[in-house]
Amino acid sequence: MHKETLFGRLAICIVIAALFWLLPVPEGIDPNATHLLGIFVATILAIVLKVMPTGAVALLGLTATILTRTLTFEAAFATFNNNVVWLVVAAFFIARGFTKTGLGSRIAYLFVRMLGKKTLGLSYGLLVTEVILSPAIPSSTARAGGVVFPILDNLSRSFGSAPDEGTARRMGSFLTMVAAQATAITGAMFMTAMAPNPLIVQFAGEQGIQFTWASWAIAASAPCILALALVPLVIYKLYPPAVKNTPHAAEFANQKLAEMGKMKTSEKTMLGTFVVLVALWIFGDTFGISSTTTALLGLCFLLAVGVLSWKDILGEQGAWDTLFWFAALVSMASNLSSFGVVQWAGVHVSGVVGALSWPVALLLVAILYFYLHYFFASQLAHVVSMYAVFLTILLSVGAPPMPTALLLGFFSSLFGALTHYASGPSAIFYGSKYVPITTWWKLSLVVSVINIAIFIFVGGAWWKVLGLW
Amino acid sequence: MHKETLFGRLAICIVIAALFWLLPVPEGIDPNATHLLGIFVATILAIVLKVMPTGAVALLGLTATILTRTLTFEAAFATFNNNVVWLVVAAFFIARGFTKTGLGSRIAYLFVRMLGKKTLGLSYGLLVTEVILSPAIPSSTARAGGVVFPILDNLSRSFGSAPDEGTARRMGSFLTMVAAQATAITGAMFMTAMAPNPLIVQFAGEQGIQFTWASWAIAASAPCILALALVPLVIYKLYPPAVKNTPHAAEFANQKLAEMGKMKTSEKTMLGTFVVLVALWIFGDTFGISSTTTALLGLCFLLAVGVLSWKDILGEQGAWDTLFWFAALVSMASNLSSFGVVQWAGVHVSGVVGALSWPVALLLVAILYFYLHYFFASQLAHVVSMYAVFLTILLSVGAPPMPTALLLGFFSSLFGALTHYASGPSAIFYGSKYVPITTWWKLSLVVSVINIAIFIFVGGAWWKVLGLW
């Protein structure tokens, strides 16, 4: 983009923030609250407009809060010791072990060999790989773009199904569409499967709704598994691949596995660490070991035995990036909440839906929350700007806290495949040119309806069974 | 080093930490305090033994405090929102602008052209470059290794004075020795001239001794300028270069400057930002703009105008590294202090020097603090493990707070050239093979005596004039 355009957009964001200094301050609200809201709105807008990378925008926003004395330095930077922030950062570092050792690819090839006789089976092979990797790879972009996509692309091309080869492309197209949706669904499965998830935990926690790693995973399990089982079938029906039998895929995987040879010590160590890690995430709470402590412990172990080096850690730019923008945005959002702005907005907006019974309100508001993602190119920006407010609105009309927090939380992953720009992984999958835009939008709309139905009805029933409401 | 050796060393550190669990707990001290002390001692030992890079060791130490329930997660990570930590991190990012735009080299060539007719003048040219860059380059390794050393090396080689060319090497050797000492002295000049300085500010602050950026710079000015003026002369006398006239150095610099052409816009912007930054560091307190806010503001500006990109920031591994080890070590040290361990150690050790009058005690203890650096390969490890305790000891025998904190603080920079392994810059300078070990040790010992005398007597007098005691 032209430098001038970016300056123009930055200027617009600054002017918008400044306008909040002129607003009348509502009764009982600290004037700093409206100033913070202004900076927050401008920050989110700058992220949406892609004025600069998210981290840079977050730094500008945070510095603005300090410089205008809206927040003290300590309040602005308080979230850098937040444990959910460090959970996701540590998991990012651990994820490096999957790519560094080659374990991630090995797992993918194993499932392709096992399930890849038919194209449909192949799509499930990629999907299962995603599920297995998701507990410890919180960057869905790294998981989809770094492990699954290269294998998908390789396979499709080896079947004469490169993006530029006419109708034959539709094997690659089918797999791409399934993988994009699978990434969105697996993102919802675990607290550590997607960077914005711990944000959701944080925001829900501020409303008194507590999740552990295990309780999240259990609540997500039934609707996620159902969605993962159904979605490939639906896409297979609506958008059938030209190549339906892929007897060579297993051979291809076999050959790749032969090239990789036996598991290296580093791969075995990584696998063992991963298993213990997930076990501790599930059962750690009973011994009083939190998920963050678990992640730190896993990371220390990988460093001590040399699977990862400190150089790997320092070079893992995605993690440092996440540390920064994550902590900065959580800080702004949490401070808004403690200033009472979120409550205030929730109460005022809920006047509109206040006349409705909570099930109708929940349905309408949650669906609105979902489809507003047509306007976002970042799950993060969407979650940061809307999750807390939408949750507050629904709680104020009497919606049951736990399922409401979960539903909005899971939707925050699911809408990641809604458009070709909806998330990092979708941008990567779309960028491969297997799937035309119109196809993407149509199929994703259908899938979104199915996902919403599954999570509301099956999810709702499951959470009732679990006694969450 | 062999992996087995490292494992052995790591095991020793862990055993040493574990021994503290068996120690009797002194009356009135929380048992967690002795546990933390054990982990802290093991962490410092692991840094000294180079078991792993400092950051990795710090992570292991911090995780150990959480896992053993010595500290809560919040207490362990509390310092990640410490403003001195972010001051040094932001300054690290800003420093990238000097190398990226080429402004750092241009400044060096300008001074070489101005002062480089004789070898002695040349050495002052490099020294002045260091002084000018030091306020905004807190990595003395980046300053010395990234800007000054390459130019020094280039110049020496162009005069037939490469390390392997007999006695002619002694121009390069002379310049190297001066540059190493100059780096150590300039590190003391500004709060932002060396990474451990903000640590010193933090530790002194915990004893109620407050420094601002400006008050540090003023206190450092007189002794630092005197030392910078004298030290090259002393080295010139004791270790004269074989080549004493360097008429071609100016030409060489001229040619380099011609190659660089006119100042680019990015260089001008960097220069302007730098000037404003230093001005705000000096005068900002009067407008209530802290040094950290100033640094963040400068960084935001460089990002907004595109001198730095977010990619540069994420790739600046030294800064992220510093953020981590810095915050982790400050956390351990601060928690030790709030557990009362530092006070306890100070009071018990000061029994030994308690019979002495404070001036004698100050002299002995400060000199001991200085020469203990023969046992350290890291200024950081030395400061973290000893600064607070030594300061406490001296305060308890009645030494005046401000000059004592300053003296120990400045010594923490000065001892950075004591040996060829005393600091990052010394390791780089020594690594160039211009100076043999014995020469390095002898000359540095002489210079250290001069520095100590200047800082105690001239420094002491200057701080009296300033009314600091």
End-to-end CA distance of chain B: 49
Closest alpha carbon to B332 in B26, B101, B54, B125: B54
What per-residue confidence (pLDDT) applies to B166?
A: 54
User: Residue B409 above 60 pLDDT?
Assistant: yes
Contact B67 A293 (CB under 8 A): yes
What per-residue confidence (pLDDT) applies to A169?
A: 61
Give the model confidence (pLDDT) of B303-360 as tens digits.
Answer: 999 999 999 999 999 899 989 988 898 899 888 888 888 778 777 777 778 788 999 9
Closest alpha carbon to A291 in B66, B1, B448: B66
Read off the pTM.
0.86
The span from the CA of B331 to the CA of B202, in Å, is 11
A55 inside 8 A of chain B by CB: yes
**B65 by DSSP, 3-state: which?**
helix
Closest alpha carbon to A54 in A385, A463, A469, A409: A385
Question: Which residue of A60, A293, A320 is in closest CB contact with B73?
Answer: A293
Percent of chain B with pLDDT over 90: 60
| Residue pair A185/A413 in contact by the 8 Å Cβ criterion | yes
Give the model confidence (pLDDT) of B275-284 as tens digits.
Answer: 999 999 888 8
Question: Which residue of A74, A296, A317 is in closest CB contact with B66?
Answer: A296
The span from the CA of A132 to the CA of A144, in Å, is 12
- Stretch A76-89: mean pLDDT: 88
- Stretch A1-26: mean pLDDT: 86
- Stretch B414-422: mean pLDDT: 93
> Helices A401-414 & A170-189, crossing angle to 10 degrees?
150
Contacts of A293 in chain B (CB under 8 A): 63, 66-67, 73
Is residue B167 very low, low, confident or very high in pLDDT (cuts 50, 70, 90)? very low
Spell out the SS3 assignment of chain A: CCHHHHHHHHHHHHHHHHHCCCCCCCCCCCHHHHHHHHHHHHHHHHHHCCCCCHHHHHHHHHHHHHHCCCCCHHHHCHHHHCHHHHHHHHHHHHHHHHHHHCHHHHHHHHHHHHHCCEHHHHHHHHHHHHHHHHHHCCCHHHHHHHHHHHHHHHHHHHCCCCCCCHHHHHHHHHHHHHHHHHHHHHHHHCCCCCCHHHHHHHHHHHCCCCCCHHHHHHHHHHHHHHHHHHHHHHHHHHCCCCCCECHHHHHHHHHHHHHHCCCCHHHHHHHHHHHHHHHHHHHHHHHCCCHHHHHHHHHHHHHHCCCCCHHHHHHCHHHHHHHHHHHHHHHHHHHHHHCCHHHHHHHHHHHHHCCCCHHHHHHHHHHHHHHHHHHCCCHHHHHHHHHHHHHHHHHHCCCCHHHHHHHHHHHHHHHHHCCCCCCHHHHHHHHCCCCCHHHHHHHHHHHHHHHHHHHHHHHHHHHHHCCCC
The span from the CA of A358 to the CA of A290, in Å, is 34
Question: Which residue of B3, B55, B77 is in closest CB contact with A306?
Answer: B3
Distance (Å) from the alpha carbon of A77 to chain B's nearest alpha carbon: 5
Contacts of A306 in chain B (CB under 8 A): 3
Question: Which residue of B56, B293, B299 is in closest CB contact with A73?
Answer: B293
Closest alpha carbon to A113 in A3, A9, A255, A210: A255
The span from the CA of A154 to the CA of A252, in Å, is 10
The span from the CA of B328 to the CA of B43, in Å, is 10
The span from the CA of A161 to the CA of A145, in Å, is 19
Beta bridge partners of A245: A118
**B377 by DSSP, 3-state: which?**
coil
Is residue A378 very low, low, confident or very high in pLDDT (cuts 50, 70, 90)? confident
The span from the CA of B448 to the CA of B67, in Å, is 43
Domain ranges of chain A: 83-317
Cα distances (angstroms) measured from residue A77 to each of A92, A329, B327: 21, 10, 13
User: Residue A348 above 60 pLDDT?
Assistant: yes
Please name the residues between 80 and 109 in chain A that touch chain B, using a CB distance below 8 Å. Answer: 80-81, 83, 86
The span from the CA of B159 to the CA of A218, in Å, is 72
User: Residue A266 above 70 pLDDT?
Assistant: yes
User: Residue B415 above 70 pLDDT?
Assistant: yes
What per-residue confidence (pLDDT) applies to B55?
A: 93
Beta bridge partners of B118: B245
| Residue pair B250/B113 in contact by the 8 Å Cβ criterion | yes
Is residue B30 very low, low, confident or very high in pLDDT (cuts 50, 70, 90)? confident
Cα distances (angstroms) measured from residue A72 to each of A16, A23, A42, B290, B292: 22, 22, 19, 11, 12
End-to-end CA distance of chain A: 49
Contact A66 B314 (CB under 8 A): no
Helices (H) and strands (E) in chain B, counts: 25, 0
Is residue A268 very low, low, confident or very high in pLDDT (cuts 50, 70, 90)? very high
Is residue B82 very low, low, confident or very high in pLDDT (cuts 50, 70, 90)? confident
B14 inside 8 A of chain A by CB: no
Contact B63 A296 (CB under 8 A): yes
The span from the CA of A213 to the CA of A298, in Å, is 16
Closest alpha carbon to A159 in A177, A175, A141: A175
User: Residue B161 above 60 pLDDT?
Assistant: no
Counted residue by residue, chain B has a size of: 469
Which residues are within 8 A (CB) of B287 and not within 5 positions of it... i.e. 6 or more apart? none
Structure tokens at A255: 């050959």
Question: Which residue of B77, B304, B321 is in closest CB contact with A81?
Answer: B77
What per-residue confidence (pLDDT) applies to A152?
A: 87
The span from the CA of A266 to the CA of A100, in Å, is 9
The better pLDDT of the pair B229, B432 is held by B229
Distance of CA B139 to the CA centre of its chain: 7
Cα distances (angstroms) measured from residue A364 to each of A358, A369, A393: 10, 9, 12
Cα distances (angstroms) measured from residue A223 to each of A134, A410, A449, A460, B260: 16, 10, 14, 9, 63
Contacts of A290 in chain B (CB under 8 A): 73
